[in-house]
Structure 1
């Protein structure tokens, strides 16, 4: 009888860390998947920006600086890659640029009546909602993963296999915390 007990204890001592390791890998992969979902939605927004700028340029030729700022912010955000803090900062700058564009566009009656601009407005609004949802999903996945890395007993497995916490996708600016105004 005691032989079975020793065998069960050894089996648990071997299998439980494997179970914990597999759980951490699963959580880490969920974080990676959530990040790729953000990336897809941000690319969708990046693809809309040139169309938006082109639509607005004809009506607001005197505001050349804002177009350059938006394109530059878009390029910096795309170049940040998967570095979450750098990407979040670049996205903040892009959001501020878009806020400025929308504020200027709101004061142009011809632009508000443009069917092309209305279609872009709808598409961008939809994309912003998708980005917000993807960010929330990513942050939820990071929270679950980071919590697992810091709680007993998985903390011991995480340390042994050098699992590292991931960064939340956070904004620092009050402007970025508000939705992008896309009404004309």
Structure 2
């Protein structure tokens, strides 16, 4: 009985940590939507980046995506967001817009919260998984159909070094 209750307690911690990540990701998604609307009018010829952001947000919002697909879409969204932020540097009128500036600050804070939430989740998931694998808990866990928690993994987009354009090449049009 104690083994079962211990596993349920650990599983609940994993679920709570996952909810914390989801909350942070939802906050970022909301901020991105606001940022896109704030800059779209002045950056109307940068359609590629807006399309990538919209596509990634649609994938993330779809209820039919797997956890792995969702993580990939989050990586695509992060990549497109980085591109959008770098493009705003080419628009001095956007840099002086207080609404855009505030959204950028909030997005930066949101990215930090996502990082911390993912790190915390991975820690709790690793502890839970380690407990599931330990003897004799593994016997009971298999019998009761407890499954290991997935951890966040580095995306391909995160492994790619971003290209920095200081105005020496043409922007995407």
TM over 0.5: yes
User: Which residues of structure 1 form unaligned runs of 5+?
Assistant: 1-17, 179-184
Q: Which deviates more from structure 2 when the two are superposed, residues 27-36 or residues 166-175?
A: 166-175
81-90 vs 130-139, which moves further: 81-90
8 A contact 1:80–1:87 mirrored in 2: no
- Match in the other structure for 1:7: none
In structure 1, the residue matched to 2:136 is 153
2:86 matched to which residue of 1?
103
Change (3 A) 1:24 1:82: farther
Root mean square deviation of aligned Cα = 1.9
Q: TM-score, normalised by structure 1?
A: 0.81
Task: Evaluate the alpha carbon distance shift between residue 20 and residue 168 of structure 1 in structure 2; reply closer, same or farther with a 3 A threshold.
Answer: same
1:78 aligns with 2:52: no
Which stretches in structure 2 are left out of the alignment for 5+ residues?
162-173
CA distance in 2, matches of 1:65, 1:31: 37
Q: CA 1:159–1:149 in structure 2 vs 1: closer, same or farther (change >3 Å)?
A: same
Would you say 1:112 and 2:70 are equivalent positions? no
For 1:25-73, what per-residue CA distance to the aligned partner results, in whole angstroms no more than 9, with x for missing partners? 1111111111111111111111111210011112211112211210111
Distance 1:28 1:177, change over 3 A: farther
Q: Does 1:173 align with 2:156?
A: yes
Equivalent position of 1:15 in the other structure: none
TM-score using structure 2 length: 0.86
The one of 44, 48, 51 equivalent to 2:27 is 44
Aligned length: 161
- As a proportion of its length, which structure holds more helix? 1
Distance 1:73 1:97 in 2: 8
Higher-Rg structure is 1
